[in-house]
Chain A
Amino acid sequence: MERIPILKMGEYLLVTIQVDMHDRLAMTLQDDLTARIVEARAKGVLIDISALEIVDSFIGRMLADIAAMSRVLDAETVVVGMRPAVAITLVELGLSLTGVRTALNVERGMDLLRERIRERFSE
C-alpha cells in the first residue's frame, strides 16, 4: 500500500508530501505520524507540502488535525512551503488553519521549530 515516508532527524520528524493526497493516504499518514511521534519521542514535526498542488476541505482539515494531535503528544508542528494557489483555496474553503504554525520553506520551518523548542526548554 502507498505510504508517505516519515523521516527521523534527531528529535524532529520530517514529512514530505510528494504526491497528491487522497483521503485514504491522509488517514494512513495520521496513523503513521502519531505512532512515530510516540515511538521516536519527537519534539518537533515538519510537514513539507511544497509539492502539493490540489487540496480539498478534507486534506485541509487533516492538516489541522495532525497539528492538533502532535500538540497533544507534545510535539511542535510546522507546515511549510504551501503554494499560493493552495493557500487561496484553503482560505476560500473557510479553513484558515489558525492552530497550525506555518513557514515559507523548510529552512525557515526548521528555524521556527528550534526556536519554539528552545523556548520551551528555557521555561
Chain B
Amino acid sequence: MNEQSVLHDLVSRNEAEILQRWIERQLGASNFRSDRISKVEVSDQSRRFLSLFRQSLSSGSADLYSPAWANTRQMLEEVSVSRAQQGFAPSETALFVFSLKETLFEGLQDQLPKDLKAASQMILDTNQLLDRLGLFTTEVYQRGREQLIIRQQQELMELSTPVVTLWEGVLALPVIGTLDSARTQVVMENLLQRIVETGAAIAIIDITGVPTVDTLTAQHLLKTVAAARLMGADCIISGIRPQIAQTIVHLGVDLGTVITKATLADAFAIALRRLGLGVTKVGAPKKRREPEAQSTTRDRTED
C-alpha cells in the first residue's frame, strides 16, 4: 500500500523525466527494431502507457484485474495486437514493459526507505507489478493466436468438403486432404444432406486430392458409401491414382461392391449412362438438325 503510493508520487512528480529516459533507453537498446516500428510510435505508446500507469497506481490497488487497471490493460492489449501485426515476437512485446523497470528503479533509489527490509520489499513489489503487466501482453498475444488457430480449423473443415452438382441427379464430392474420423463425419453429413435436398441418385466421391489411403481411410470411405446407399443413392469412387491402387491391394482392403474408376470423367460417364443419358457430338453446323432430333439426352425408358 505504502510502496505503491511512493511509486505513484515518484511517477506523478517526474513523469516527463521518466518518460524521456524510458524512451531513450528503448530507442538506444541494441535490439531496437527500427525496421518494424517508428520512433514516433514508440514515444506515443510509452507516453500513453506511463500516463495510464500513473492513473492506475493512484487507486492503490495492485490487482491487475480490478477496474482501476482496466484502462491500462486495454492499452496493453492494443499494443500487443499492433506489435504482433508488426511482426514482433511476444518476448519483444513484453520487453516494452520490462524496460520501464530500469528507469523506475533509478528514480526510486533516492526514495527508498532507510530500513533495508522495507526497501527490498518495495523493490520486490514494484518488480512484481511490472512483471505482471509484461506477462499480460504475452497472454494477450497467446489468446489472439489461439483464436486464429480455432477459426482457421473451422474454416478448413468447411472449405474442404464441398458437394457439387454435376448434373441433375448426379453429385460429386471432391475430397481434398487426409480423411480422418472427424472429417469423415462432416463429409458424410454434407453428402447425405445434399442427397436429400437434390434427390440425387448417384454420388461420385473423387479422391484425387487424398494424399494417402490407409486401411482407416478406406474404412471411412466404405462407411460413406454404405450410408449413401442406405439413403437410396449409389456411390462411385473415382480419382484413384496408380500408387493408391497398389496400396489398397497391398493392404488387402476389400472395396467390395463399390464401383471404382480411375478418373472423375469415367465416373461421370457411368453416372450419365445409369440415368439413361448420354453425350453425343453435335455435328457440323449444316447438319445440325439431325443429331439434335436425337438430342444429347436420351429418354430413360430407352435404356
A residues near B (Cβ < 8 Å) are: 79-80, 82-84, 86-88, 90-92, 96-98, 102-105, 108-109
Contacts of B189 in A (CB 8 A): 84, 88
Question: What residue in chain B is nearest A102 (Cβ atoms)?
Answer: B232
Pairs A-B, 3 closest by C-beta atoms:
A84-B192, A103-B232, A96-B226
Complex partner residue of B232 from A88, A90, A108, CB under 8 angstroms: A108
Residues of chain B within 8 A of A96, CB atoms compared: 226, 229-230
CB of B234, distance to nearest CB on chain A (Å): 10
Contacts of B195 in A (CB 8 A): 84, 104
Contact partner of B188 (CB less than 8 A), chosen from A88, A102, A109, is A88
- Chain A residues near B205 (CB, 8 Å)? none
Total number of B residues with any Cβ neighbor in A under 8 Å: 19
List 25 A-B residue pairs with CB atoms under 8 Å apart, sorted by A's residue number.
Answer: A82-B231, A83-B196, A84-B189, A84-B195, A84-B196, A86-B230, A87-B227, A87-B228, A87-B230, A87-B231, A88-B189, A88-B192, A88-B227, A92-B223, A96-B226, A98-B257, A102-B229, A102-B231, A104-B195, A104-B199, A104-B201, A104-B231, A105-B199, A108-B232, A109-B232
What is the chain B residue whose CB lies nearest that of A107?
B199
Q: Note all chain B residues with C-beta closer than 8 A to A104.
A: 195-196, 199, 201, 231-233
- Closest A residue to B300 by beta carbon equals A111
Known: A88-B189, A91-B223, A92-B223. A102 touches B230 (CB 8 A): yes
Cβ contacts B175-204/A at 8 Å (1 or 0 each):
000000000010011001101100101000
Q: How many Å from the CB of A63 to the closest CB on chain B?
A: 10
Identify the closest chain A residue to B199 (Cβ): A104
Q: Which residues of B contact A92 (CB under 8 A)?
A: 223
Q: What's the Cα separation between A77 and B223 when bound, in Å?
A: 23
Interface residues of B in 25-58 (CB under 8 A from A): none
Query: Counting chain A CB atoms within 10 Å of each CB, which of B185, B196, B230, B231 scores highest?
Result: B230
Give complex CA distance A88, B189 in Å.
Answer: 8
Interface string of B220-241 (1 = CB under 8 A from A): 0001001111111100000000
- Contact of B233 with A91 in the complex, beta carbons under 8 Å: no
Which residues of the partner chain A approach B192 to less than 8 Å between Cβ atoms? 84, 87-88
Q: Contact check, B227 vs A91: say whether CB atoms are below 8 A apart.
A: yes
Q: Across the interface, which residues of B come within 8 angstroms of A102, CB to CB?
A: 229-232
A104 CA to B199 CA, complexed, in Å = 7
B193 touching A84, Cβ below 8 Å = yes
Contacts of A97 in B (CB 8 A): 230
Nearest opposing residue in chain A for B226, CB measure: A96
Beyond A92-B223, A98-B257, A104-B195, 7 additional contacts (C-beta under 8 Å) are A80-B232, A82-B230, A82-B232, A84-B227, A87-B231, A91-B223, A108-B199
